[in-house]
Structure formats: structure tokens, C-alpha cells
Structure 1
Amino acid sequence: MSMNDVASNDEAASGPRRHNGPISRRLLAIARTVRSEEPSVGELFDRLESEGLGLTLLLLTLPALIPLPGPFGMVFGTFVALVALQILFGAERLWLPQTIRQRPVPQRLLRKVIRAGLDWAGYAERGLREDRLAWLTGRTARMLLALPLLLMAVTIILPIPMGNVMPALALIAASIGFMAADGLAVLVSMLIAMAAVVWTAVLLYTGAAAADYAAMLLARLAVHLRAMLESVGVDLGFAAGVSTVFAVAAGVAALAFWIQAVRHRRSRRTSLDAVPDARERSRAVARRNRGLLTAASLATAAAAIFLATRFMLTGWI
């Protein structure tokens, strides 16, 4: 089945109204113009031209919506920053390393992405209008707006609890505005970005106050713990040594469990090929991996507790 057939099927199935928007038209343009069985990544983004920058921002920002600090924000925030830098220096198309540009995109995957994108665009385009405040979506405007977008990416990278949401929303609004050539959506994204700066400052202030309070509580707990052990005749050095041994043992166990979980995740496709139903295969993978993840999390928590106990016994806290 060619991409032209995919475009025709999607148009017939979804109706013309949902495909009248600017994002839908660009997705259908990809389906019509890319005729190879396995188009390369570079070919797809060449078809998108400047809209590929907005699409990339959108795809990289969505995983960063997770409100907790961790690898998602750091990794995807870094990629968003790289795209924002390209926009800042006036890139009209997304630059990718040659090895990535030459990688083929499976036809089946491409059809699924286009269909899912058309369904999503049908909702997102209700409030969009092409060429509204068009001066905010041109090349010069994009270069100027890349600075606040870069600031939002850096904010996502920072390990601030609940600090990812508003910067990610600003980036999503900007990416939709760039893709749809709707300057009002871009303007809304800048307003969200300003609110995100204020919100981040509030989180940093309250986070510093909370950290000071937590440090005070830990210091009091350490004093009470040392006094309790001394009252029953336990040597603090010996207790600290025992805590260190248990911390190392729990850490080694946690590392082993995490390695097993990663290996199991990588080998899940080959080990479950005999299960024909996709849902059953997914459930089987979840059941097998749940025990490893639970054990790894518990061992990690135990290692952290024993390590904190060791610091309290030796007076580091």
C-alpha cells in the first residue's frame, strides 16, 4: 500500500471537515508526496520544510510533560534546546546527523503516525487559523522567539519538581503555532512562557525553603538517633559500619535488579513472539517486568535509607 492510498483512505474515513486544518493538510501532503516503500528520516523532514521544526518540538516536548524531575526532562529538554538553537540561528529545516537522515522509516509505522496525527489534529485545529498574525511565524520572528523557547528547554532540564509542566505547555503551543502558521498560538505560547518563568521562580524559592526545613528535621532526627543508641550502649562507629555494609549490599542488589529489568525489556519482543495477540503480549511483558521493577525500587530505597542512617550516625547530617 502506498502513501497515496493511505491519504485517500484517511480522507474517506474521517471526512473532509477534519482535514481542512493547516496541520492536517501538511500531514496529508506527506502521505501524498512520499512514495517510496521505506522513506528515510531526512526525506520526511525535507517534505515538512520549516514545519518540521515545529513537529520536532512537539514530539520532543510531550514526554517532558511528566511533572517529576528525572531523565525524561533532562534528556528531552536537551534535545528541545538543540532544536531551539537551530531555530535561533535561522534554520529553515531541521538539521540531523547524516546517519539519522539515512535511516529508513517503516511504511507501517509511518501510516500509524499519520493516522494518529490526523485524529489529534482534528481536535487541535478547532481554535487555529492559518496565517493569523503571520508576522509571528516568519523566519525572523522564529529566530527572536527561539530565545524564550531555549529558556523553556533549560527550565525543563533543571531538576525542579512540578517545574516541567508550564514550560512544556509553552513549547507545545509554540510548536502548534509554527506548524499551523498561526501567530496567535505563538503569542499564547509566549504568555505561557512568561508565566512559566514566574512559576519556576516560585518553585525555586519554596523548594529552597523546603530543603532547609528538611535538613533541620534530619539534623534533629540524627541527634535523637545517636542519643538513643548511646543510651543502650551501642557504639556509633560499629553501627555506622553495619549501616555501610547494608547500604552497599542493597545498592549491589538494586543494580542487579535494574540490569535484569533492562535486559528483560530489550529481549521482550523475541521472547514473546509466540503470543499472537498484541494485547496479551503487552500484558505478559508487564507481568514479567513488574516484579523486577518492584524489587529494584525497593532495593534502591533500602540503600538510600541505610546510607542516610550512616551519615546520621557519623555526624555528617
Structure 2
Amino acid sequence: MTDTFATAALTRTDARSHPQQLSQLLRNLSLTAGPKITLRDLAVAMEDRSFGAFLVVFALPNLIPLPPGSTFILGLPLIFVAWQMLASRHARIWLPKRMGDYAFENATFFVFVNRISPWLQRAETLIKPRGWFLGGRLAERVIGLLALTLAIVIFLPIPLGNWLPAFALAVIGFAHMERDGLGLVAGALIGVVSLILAGTIIAAAAAVLTFVV
């Protein structure tokens, strides 16, 4: 009996030390779920990696060419996730009932997963556990503040100003999920550059409007 408990404990420890990669986790969720998948299903599957994973899941569609106005829809979930990362006392995302119950067709989800899986798998070869320095909630709040700022920029209709912040959030999300300190620093630097670029675009647009008026 003692050996059984020891084996189970080692199995749980190994699962925490070597968490399932996001690409495989999403694929397994699609294969085991019913005809519809809810956002709550995603949150439960991702467990304590939900902040980083949800940043990745909601940031990736912003890297694909989409119709004008799509960022208004795709930016809102990012703002919601980043705000919780900044303000929540917990390490897991909380979804209100209406949002958690939001369901989409598993067939559509499967197509989406297949489309992004090659990108995810390439990223998973680069981002891995190393040099993790976010030991406390305060440090995570700082990253949450940067993520929230980037999410707001994505939400705004800034010409050519949405792709780089979305890429930065995807990198930050991946690094946070895999506990990769080096990747987190890289994502944060990309995020700062994207904010400077967005600010420059806004300033230039304001200057043009002032000159025209």
C-alpha cells in the first residue's frame, strides 16, 4: 500500500515537472470532448497554467489576417484575462457563468487547433522551463499590468499597431505557462517595443489630423 501511494505521489510530481504541452493539450481536449466545447472546459483542462494559456489562445487569432473590426471582439477576452492576471489573488483564471458557458462547435475548434498546431509546436521547441524568477504574486502583477496594456492596444483600432502586441502577448503567455524566465523577458521586451511603435503611430496620426484640420 505504501509503495502504491509513493508511486502515485511520484506520478503527480512528474506531471507537474513535465506538464503537457499546449498543442497536445488542446488536441486531446478536442478528441475527448463532446460536440461542443465551453470556455470553462478550456480553463479546467489548463488548470494552474490558465493565465498563460488563455493569453496564448486569445492572442494567436490576432496574428492571422482578419476582417476590419475583429480586434474589438478578440481584444476583449485578452483584456479580461490580463486584468485578472493583474488583480486576482489566485493563480487560476476565473470565468463568470455566462462567459464560462459560452460554447463553440468542437469541429470548428478542431480545425483551429490543427491550423495553429505547427506554430505551437515550433514555439514549444524554443520555450522551456528555465530561469524562472516570478516567485511572488507582486512580480506576476507587474507582468499582468504589461499584459493589460498590450491587450488594450490590441483592442484599439490602430493601423498596423495590433500584430506586434499580440505576438508579445503570445510569447509572454507561452513563457508564463512553461515557466521560462528568458522567454518572459523576451516577450516583455517585444511588448515594450510594440507599445513604443503604437505610441508613435498614434502621435503621427494625431499630427496629421491636426495639420488637416
Counterpart-to-counterpart distance in 1, 2:54 and 2:106: 19
Counterpart-to-counterpart distance in 2, 1:137 and 1:180: 14
- Equivalent position SS for 2:151: helix
> Cα offset for 1:112?
4.2
Counterpart-to-counterpart distance in 2, 1:174 and 1:90: 20
Pair 1:152-2:150 in alignment: yes
Which residue is 2:15 aligned to? none
Which residue is 2:190 aligned to? 192
Counterpart-to-counterpart distance in 2, 1:114 and 1:135: 31
Counterpart-to-counterpart distance in 1, 2:155 and 2:162: 8
The amino acid across from 1:183 in the alignment is G
Bigger RCO (CA 8 Å, 6+ sep)? 2
Which residue is 2:173 aligned to? 175
> Cα offset for 1:161?
1.8
Change (3 A) 1:209 1:56: same
> Cα offset for 1:66?
7.1
Contact map agreement 2:23 2:113 (CA 8 A) in 1 = no
> Deviation per CA, 1:1-30, whole angstroms, max 9, x where unpaired?
xxxxxxxxxxxxxxxxxxx98334544664
Contact map agreement 2:37 2:106 (CA 8 A) in 1 = no
Counterpart-to-counterpart distance in 2, 1:158 and 1:36: 34
- Aligned residue runs from structure 1 range 108-257, under 5 A: 108-109=107-108, 111-129=110-128, 131-136=129-134, 140-215=138-213
Contact map agreement 2:52 2:177 (CA 8 A) in 1 = yes
Change (3 A) 1:213 1:105: closer
Report which stretch shifted further, 94-103 or 68-77.
68-77
> Cα offset for 1:40?
4.9
> Deviation per CA, 1:50-108, whole angstroms, max 9, x where unpaired?
32322322232234347999522333223211111111123433322324434556554
> Cα offset for 1:148?
0.8
- Equivalent position SS for 1:135: coil
Contact map agreement 2:35 2:107 (CA 8 A) in 1 = no
Counterpart-to-counterpart distance in 1, 2:74 and 2:105: 23
Counterpart-to-counterpart distance in 2, 1:124 and 1:212: 43
> Cα offset for 1:134?
1.9
> Deviation per CA, 1:151-205, whole angstroms, max 9, x where unpaired?
1112223332222122222111111212322222211111012212221222122
Contact map agreement 1:69 1:159 (CA 8 A) in 2 = no
Identical-pair percentage: 27
Counterpart-to-counterpart distance in 2, 1:65 and 1:114: 14
Counterpart-to-counterpart distance in 2, 1:73 and 1:165: 10
- Equivalent position SS for 2:206: helix
Counterpart-to-counterpart distance in 1, 2:132 and 2:142: 14
- Equivalent position SS for 1:133: coil
Contact map agreement 1:137 1:178 (CA 8 A) in 2 = no
- Aligned residue runs from structure 1 range 100-111, under 5 A: 100-102=99-101, 106-109=105-108, 111=110
Contact map agreement 2:22 2:53 (CA 8 A) in 1 = no
Considering only CA atoms, is the larger Rg found in Structure 1 or Structure 2? 1
Contact map agreement 2:164 2:190 (CA 8 A) in 1 = yes
Which residue is 2:96 aligned to? 97
> Cα offset for 1:45?
1.6
Which residue is 1:23 aligned to? 22
> Cα offset for 1:146?
0.4
- Structure 1 unaligned residues grouped into runs of 5+: 1-19, 216-317
Counterpart-to-counterpart distance in 1, 2:201 and 2:109: 40
